[in-house]
A and B are shown apart, each in its own frame.
Chain A
Amino acid sequence: GNSVTQMEGPVTLSEEAFLTINCTYTATGYPSLFWYVQYPGEGLQLLLKATKADDKGSNKGFEATYRKETTSFHLEKGSVQVSDSAVYFCALDQAGTALIFGKGTTLSVSS
């Protein structure tokens, strides 16, 4: 069945460091891929999405590219801020199914 695997955390970085959170997926066909973020005390929010191969989603300095050949959708940011501290979830949505989430990766950024 469809599944999402993302790197385990926590990820601890200093401010302005480069961030990568790995995400790979297993799915038949052509799912849409998402990154959701959960800030402390808040609900899940859509961060970015990509709906087909080679699409790049971007938002708030974060980017992720839909790589069908490696079944990956890694999240990157060139320079993290303390305010980026949150839990990040990779997810996929294939027509006819609900969102399938990874387990989440906790990011902690210190100044």
Chain B
Amino acid sequence: GAGVSQSPRYKVAKRGQDVALRCDPISGHVSLFWYQQALGQGPEFLTYFQNEAQLDKSGLPSDRFFAERPEGSVSTLKIQRTQQEDSAVYLCASSQGRTRVTEAFFGQGTRLTVV
């Protein structure tokens, strides 16, 4: 596709439910990032992939959060046993380069609401 695509756009989950958020990066982009954006805040880094390798997961807030990119393209962010504090917009971004300084293209995000 022409840009970074995320699905679903909106997700409502009951507390305790597991969710999976999908990111389709721009074709050929090596680097992929996940960010979490709480209401009224800027995006905060969660994790970073270079191809299929997860090189940095220091931003994942707990072991309930898990991300994968098994074939170096599509990525999935999974949240187990969702809590109300997980409510946020989850942004995916990809970039062509192997460093993080190069321009990253963002998807529209998935808005997760935990009730």
Contacts and interface: CB of A to CB of B under 8 A. Distances in A.
A103 B42 contact: yes
A86 B39 CA distance: 15
B4 A43 contact: yes
Interface stretch (B14-22, B43-51, B69-77): B43-51
Contacts of A101: 42-44
Interface string A74-89: 0000000000000001
Nearest to A46: B103
B113 interface: no
A13 interface: no
DSSP majority for the B interface? loop
Given A43-B107, A45-B106, A98 B56 contact: yes
Interface residues of A, number: 23
A104 B100 contact: no
Contact of B101 (A36, A42, A43, A51): A51
A42 B105 CA distance: 12
Greatest chain B CB density within 10 A among A46, A49, A100, A101 is at A101
Contacts of B35: 99
Contacts of A89: 42-43
Contacts of B48: 98
Given A42-B108, A44-B43, A44-B106, A97 B100 contact: yes
B41 interface: yes
Given A41-B108, A93-B100, A103-B40, 15 more contacts: A36-B106, A43-B3, A43-B4, A43-B105, A44-B43, A46-B104, A49-B103, A95-B101, A98-B33, A99-B33, A99-B35, A101-B43, A102-B42, A104-B41, A104-B42
Interface of B: 3-4, 33, 35, 40-45, 48, 56, 59, 91, 93, 99-101, 103-109
